[in-house]
Copies of this chain bind each other. A is one copy, B any other.
Amino acid sequence: MRHKDDSKREAITNAAIELITTAGFADTSMSKIAKAANVSPATIYVYFENKEDLLNQLYLMVKREFSEAMLAGFHDSLSVEAGFKLIWENSCRYMLAQPTRFAFSEQFANSPLVNRVSREEGSGYYQPVFSVFERGKREGIFKDISLDLSIAFFYAPLMLLVKQHYSGDIVFDRELQQIVFEITWDALTI
């Protein structure tokens, strides 16, 4: 009996993310993925149940990668300020370093193709971020607003700017990043 070949699985996921990001999910056929991964179309079905399952697994993979990058170097002994800045900069750096992953993630942020289960599992990765905000509120540093609001002002402008960076509308360099971080801090702190 042959063993399952991890390199095949990886070739498939890489090809899939690349193609889906470029052309969209609907215009990325299983055949095209197979061809790009140097594999038979049928082989994809050895590793994934169907096209939707493939997408959901990719989504979780990308989300996990992102959350890991975002939390690199983070631990609870950090001060709120330090932790907040670390997470913001990790996020920013990763988004700028991984155009494909970022674009993929954006594309399915609100897609009905990603099922509830995957989405919930995906959002579970952000737990540590939530705690920083809670601590910041308790310590009287942050405004006393709901978590959802905090997240909205923390991530939404950043992500929009990264998108504009990729579309060539702006150059999101270190200097600009610093400014954005300061506005964000301004917005959320008392």
Contacts and interface: CB of A to CB of B under 8 A. Distances in A.
A152 B161 contact: yes
A186 B179 CA distance: 15
A156 B155 CA distance: 9
Contacts of A149: 157, 161, 176, 179-180, 183
Nearest to A188: B183
Nearest to A26: B26
Chain A: number of interface residues, binned into ranges: 35 or more
A187 B153 contact: yes
Nearest to A170: B148
Contacts of A10: none
Contacts of A106: 110
Contacts of A186: 186-187
A153 B153 CA distance: 8
Interface of A: 22-27, 106-107, 110-113, 143, 145-146, 148-149, 152-153, 155-157, 159-161, 163-164, 167, 169-170, 176, 179-180, 183-184, 186-188
5 contacts: A24-B26, A24-B113, A148-B170, A153-B183, A186-B187
